[in-house]
Amino acid sequence: MAPPLEDLTRVLAELGARLSGPPAVGAAASAGDALSASISSLAATLNPNGGRGGASSGTQVLDAALSLMCFDPIEVNKARVDFLVRTLVSALSASVSCRVVRPDGGAVEEMLCVGSSVSPGDCRELLRSCAALVQKLGNCDAVRHSYDLLYAVVKMAVLSPHYQCVFPLPYYKEEEESLYDMGTIAAELINHPSNHVPPSDNKIPLRLLLWHLDPSIVKHDLSVMLHEVIRRPLLCLRKELHNRMEWRIIVICLLCSPTIFMEMRTLLHFWFLATGLGSVLELHSALVSSALDILLKPISWGISIELGQKLPFSHAYFPSQHSDLLAILTGPLSCKGFLDLFSCIDTLVHLDNTRITYSSPKSSQLQPMEGLATYNSAWSMIMNFPVWFIFATALLFHREGSEDYLSETLSKETVADSISDVSLAQRAAFYLSWVLCPSNDDSCQILANNILEISHSWVRNNKKRQSYHSSIVNRRRKLRLPTTMDSDKLHVPTNTVSSMIKEFDDRCVKFFSTTAFPAVQAEKLSDSHASYHNLLHMWIPLGVLFASSSSVNEQNCDMLLRYTSTGRVLKSNEVEMKTKAHVTNDGFLSSSSGTAIRWALNGAYLIFGWLDVVEDMSSLVFDCEDRRHHFVSQLRTKIGPYLLECVKTLDEADQDIDFVIDLHNRLLNWVKSGQGCEIFGDVILKMNKKFKSPL
C-alpha cells in the first residue's frame, strides 16, 4: 500500500517548520493534531498490523514525560527531526517494490510489478517539496538527513511508472511542461552540498539518479569540465579528476552506469569531430583512464569494497564488437602487443574496404564520412589510449644497436621474439597515419609512406655518421666534427635532427594542413591556442628524444622543441630561426609580446602533456623502476632548458591566478623528480613570493 501523498507532504512541511526552530507550545497545538494524524497514517501504512491510535497517544505520553524531565527543547526538536526524517525515508522506501500482482484478481493473468506505486504527477510534487525542504538543511548535522531524503525521493521518482505495462495504474502521458518542470527541479538538486559527497555505501550514487531524471545534466556536467580544461591548459587533468571531489563523483557515477559511460564517450567523440579541440581529446582520454583505474583500485578513489565488487568488468564500457581490441589496448605495452594491435586494425580496414567495394555507388559516396571514425568505431577507442601513439613514434625512430634506455629495451624484445626492426617501423608508420587520417584510405597510405621515408632517412643518416666517425678513429686521425664539405662528400647531413625536422615539415605538416585537418582549422592553426586544436601529429618528431636521445644534444633538443611548439625550423649551421615569415634569431623576445606568450604557452602545454603520456608509457615498458626513473630524468634534463625559457616568459606575463597555480604545481611536480630540477629553483621561489607561501 502506497503512503498517501497528503501525509508525506504534510510531514515534509512540518519537518521544514521544525528546522526553522522549536515551535512554541501554544502555536504548535493546532498543527500538532494534524501532524500526529499524518504520522499515524504513515505508521499504519508502514506497519499495517499495528493499531491506528497507538501512535497519537504514544506521542502525547512522550511529550508529557519529556516536559516533566525538563529536557532541552532544542535537543528534543533535534530528536524529533531525526525521527521525522526516518519516518519519511521509510515511507518513501515502502512505495518502491518488486512483486507479482493479478490485475483482475484471478490467477489467470499475472504481472511482475517493478517500481514505485506513486504516480509521476505526485512524484513531481514530492520532489518539489523535498527540494524546498533540503534548502533548510544547511548545518553539518543535517547533511546526512538531506542526503537520505533526496535519495529516497529521487529514487521513487526514477522508478515511477509511465506506462500501464510496467505497473497496473492508469496510463500516464507526461506533458512537455511537466517533463521540463521535473528536469528543472533535478537541475536545482544537483548543486546541493549533499550531492557532492562520494558514496559511502553500496547504493547507486544520488547524482546518477538525477541524471536519469534529466539526462541533459550529464551534458552540462561534461561541458563544465571541458570549459575548465580549456580555460586552464596546464591543469594536470588526471590528478584533478581524483582530487576535485565533484569531478571524482562524476567519474564514479559514469562508472556505475555503463550505458551513460558509453553515452559520454559518444558525446565527447562528436564534440571532437565537430571542433577539433585537443582539450576534448585530453578530457576524453583522462576520463577513460580514470575509469579503468577505479576498476583496478576502487578503494583509492574512496569507493567501498561492496560497491567496487558490484562494478562490471571493463569490456562493459566499450562496444562489444571491440572486446579483443580492448584487451590489446589495456594489455602489456610491448612490440608483440603492437603487432597484435596492427593486425587488429589491418583486419578492420580490410573489412571496411570490402564493405565499400560491394556496396552500391550511392552508399559508397557516403562511406568515407562514416568509415572507421564513428562514435563506436575502433578508431574512437584507440584515441583514448595515447600511450600506443607515443610507443609507435618510439618504434619509428628506434635504431638497432643503440645504447639508449628505450632502444636497448626494444632491441632485447625484438631479438627474443625474432621481430624485424624494419617491419616494426613499417607498421608504426601505418598506425600513426591511420590514427591521424582514418577516413580516407588513399590519404592514409600516402601519409604512411611519407612517415616511413622519414624513419628510413633518420636511421640511414645516423648509420652513415657513425661509420664516418669510426673510420676517423680507426685511421688514428684527430677526431673533429664533420664540416659541411665533408658531409656533402659523404652525402650525410651535418645535423640529422635538423634534416629530420625539415623533411617532416615538408612531407607531413603540409599534408596535414591540406588533408587531415578541416580547412577552417588549418587557417587558424598558427594563430590559435595550443589546446584549441589537436596537435597530435607534432608528437611524431618528438619520438627521437626518447628513442634516440644520445643523438640529440642540447642545441638539437632546443631546435626540436621550438619547432613543435612554434612551427619554426632552426638552421643548425647558423643557429638561427627560419619561418615562413621573416623573424630574427633571438627566440621569443624577437616577436611581439602576444606572440611570445602564445609560443611559450604552446611549448609548456606541449611538453607537460607529452611528458605525462611518456611517463605512463615508461611505467608499462620498463620492468626495472631504476631504469624507468633514469629514462624519465634524462628526458627532463634535455627538455628542461627550453621549458625554463617558456616558464620565464609566462611568469612575466599577466596571467590569472588559476593559471599561475597550475604552472606552479607543474613545476613542483617536476622538482620532485629529482634530476634536472635545479634550474627551476629561482622561478619557483619567485612564484612562492607571489603566493606568500613557503617553499
pLDDT in tens, 169-207: 443 444 544 554 666 777 777 777 766 777 777 788 888
Query: What angle in degrees, to the nearest 10, is found between the helix axes of 335-357 and 386-396?
Result: 100
269-293 mean pLDDT: 92
Per residue in 347-381, is it b (16+ CB within 10 Å) or e — as a string?
ebbeebeeeeeeeeeeeeeeebeebbbbeebbbbb
User: Distance of alpha carbon 75 from its chain centroid, rounded?
Assistant: 46
Number of C-beta neighbours around residue 631 at 10 A: 23
- Residue pair 451/408 in contact (Cβ under 8 Å)? The answer is no
pLDDT value of position 114: 74
Amino acid, single-letter form, for residue 78: K
DSSP one-letter string for 269-307 = HHHHHHH--HHHHHHHHHHHHHHHHHHH-SGGGT--HHH
Task: Give the list of residues 6+ apart from residue 575 with CB closer than 8 angstroms, or none.
Answer: 555, 585
Alpha helix stretches (DSSP H) within 437-517 = 441-474, 484-490, 496-504, 510-511
What are the Cα distances from residue 305, in Å, to 130, 287, 506, 507?
A: 31, 21, 55, 53
- Residue pair 495/539 in contact (Cβ under 8 Å)? The answer is no
Among residues 216, 203, 301, 193, which one has the least CA distance to residue 256? 203
What gap in Å lies between CA 505 and CA 512, rounded to an integer? 10
515-526 mean pLDDT: 41
- Residue pair 671/641 in contact (Cβ under 8 Å)? The answer is no
Which residue reads 497517544 in cell numbers?
Answer: 57
Strand, helix or coil at 97?
strand
Better-scored residue on pLDDT, 19 or 575 = 19
Number of alpha carbons in the 13 Å side-chain half-sphere of residue 313: 7
Among 392-406, 439-453, 475-489, which range has the highest average pLDDT?
Answer: 439-453
Number of C-beta neighbours around residue 292 at 10 A: 18
pLDDT value of position 254: 94
Number of alpha carbons in the 13 Å side-chain half-sphere of residue 111: 15
- Residue pair 243/617 in contact (Cβ under 8 Å)? The answer is no
What gap in Å lies between CA 201 and CA 138, rounded to an integer? 22
Amino acid, single-letter form, for residue 224: V
DSSP one-letter string for 36-68 = HHHHHHHHHHH-TTS-SSHHHHHHHHHHHHHHH
What gap in Å lies between CA 18 and CA 37, rounded to an integer? 17
pLDDT value of position 429: 94
Enter the C-alpha cell of residue 156.
521513487
Among residues 29, 25, 30, 53, which one has the least CA distance to residue 40? 53
What gap in Å lies between CA 94 and CA 90, rounded to an integer? 6
What gap in Å lies between CA 673 and CA 71, rounded to an integer? 61
pLDDT value of position 293: 94
- Residue pair 652/625 in contact (Cβ under 8 Å)? The answer is no
Average pLDDT, the chain: 75
Among residues 536, 372, 546, which one has the least CA distance to residue 444? 372
- Residue pair 422/449 in contact (Cβ under 8 Å)? The answer is no
Predicted confidence (pLDDT) per residue in 296-346, tens digit: 999 899 888 888 888 999 999 999 989 999 999 999 999 999 999 999 998
Which residue reads 506533458 in cell numbers?
Answer: 175
User: Distance of alpha carbon 479 from its chain centroid, rounded?
Assistant: 52
The dihedral through the CA atoms of 399, 401, 403, 405 has a sign that is positive
- Residue pair 12/81 in contact (Cβ under 8 Å)? The answer is no
Which residue reads 643557429 in cell numbers?
Answer: 575
DSSP one-letter string for 220-261 = HHHHHHHHHHHH-TT--HHHHHHHSHHHHHHHHHHHH-HHHH
55 pLDDT above the threshold of 50: no
User: Distance of alpha carbon 198 from its chain centroid, rounded?
Assistant: 18
Beta strands in 506-600 (DSSP E): 569-571, 576-578
Among residues 432, 408, 417, which one has the least CA distance to residue 335? 417
Predicted confidence (pLDDT) per residue in 433-474, tens digit: 999 888 778 888 899 999 999 989 888 887 665 544 444 444
Among 147-151, 218-222, 482-486, which range has the highest average pLDDT?
Answer: 218-222
Predicted confidence (pLDDT) per residue in 105-121, tens digit: 666 677 777 777 777 77
What are the Cα distances from residue 494, in Å, to 154, 351, 572?
A: 70, 45, 8
**Long-range Cβ contacts of 103-106 (<8 Å, 24+ apart):** 103/168
pLDDT value of position 62: 63
Q: Which helix (H) or strand (E) holds 114?
A: strand 111-116
- CA diameter of the chain: 113
401-426 mean pLDDT: 81
| N residues, the chain | 695
pLDDT value of position 45: 45
pLDDT value of position 336: 92
pLDDT value of position 130: 77
Among residues 655, 469, 617, 667, which one has the least CA distance to residue 550? 469
What gap in Å lies between CA 196 and CA 244, rounded to an integer? 10
What gap in Å lies between CA 122 and CA 153, rounded to an integer? 11
Alpha helix stretches (DSSP H) within 319-420 = 323-329, 335-357, 361-370, 378-382, 386-396, 405-416
520-527 mean pLDDT: 38
Q: Residue 102 — φ and ψ, nearest 5°?
A: -115, 105
Better-scored residue on pLDDT, 351 or 584 = 351
Among 319-323, 385-389, 548-552, 654-658, which range has the highest average pLDDT?
Answer: 385-389
pLDDT value of position 104: 64
Better-scored residue on pLDDT, 265 or 586 = 265
What gap in Å lies between CA 202 and CA 200, rounded to an integer? 7
Secondary structure in 3-state letters for 180-202: HHHHHHHHHHCCCHHHHCCCCCC
* Strands 569-571 and 576-578, bridge-based pairing: antiparallel
What are the Cα distances from residue 634, in Å, to 394, 447, 679?
A: 15, 31, 15
pLDDT value of position 227: 95
Strand, helix or coil at 115?
strand
pLDDT value of position 12: 66
